[in-house]
Amino acid sequence: MKAGELYLLGKHLMELASRGMRDDADPEVPEIYLVLISVVVEAPGLSISELTARTGFAQSHVSAAVAKLRERGALRTRPDPADRRRTLVTPEDGLVTAVARRQRRDAEQVLAAALTELDPDEDSAAERAARLVRAADELYRLLTARALKVGGDSAALMPLHSLAEEASGKPKK
């Protein structure tokens, strides 16, 4: 795979993820809002710089989105007691339930649906999706650890699928 193909793969994955994070009845909102809300619900109390590292969005975009989401009543912010220059972000209470419901949509389901469009053999698509999601999960953990500067210590990462596991009672495969 060439770097250009990797970039295009990222674009395709973002499109699939965006479809998986939305409901048909949802108002149209910027994807940064959906991503930030998911991350803040999973790991409340992150700073703006930690959110920036975790999501890959520019710090100015994260700050602006957090401000808008705070105005809309979705997030709360407060100064970090250890360093008053840092802002910590937490979700409003009702947000946790809504995000948990959405996160029941497993990446494997989203990917299998897309693969079934190409090959109607659902069993084959499901097996391929499972294999690809395992590889993507490993890549996600490695690249997120790098972005957060925690080295190879994946235990230091809060997985973004923990809410779905908690709500469904099923551990991740």
CB 46 within 8 A of CB 54: yes
Residues 10, 77: Cα–Cα separation, whole Å: 31
Which residues are registered as beta bridge partners of 83?
A: 80
Specify the 3-state DSSP secondary structure of 159: coil
Question: Residue 145, class by beta-carbon neighbours within 10 Å (0-12 exposed, 13-18 middle, 19+ buried)?
Answer: middle
Query: Measured over all CA atoms, what is the biggest interatomic distance in the chain, rounded to whole angstroms?
Result: 56
- Which regions of the chain does DSSP assign to beta strands (E)? 46-47, 75-80, 83-91
Which pTM value belongs to this model?
Answer: 0.62
Residues 111, 129: Cα–Cα separation, whole Å: 6
For CA atoms 60, 63, 104, 153, give the dihedral sign: positive
H or E element at residue 6: helix 3-21
pLDDT tens sequence for the chain (173 residues): 888 888 888 888 888 887 777 766 666 777 888 888 888 888 889 999 999 988 889 999 999 999 999 998 889 999 999 998 899 999 988 777 766 666 666 788 888 888 888 877 777 888 888 899 889 888 888 887 887 777 666 555 555 544 444 444 444 44
Give the closest residue to 133 by CA, choosing from 115, 156, 152, 153.
115
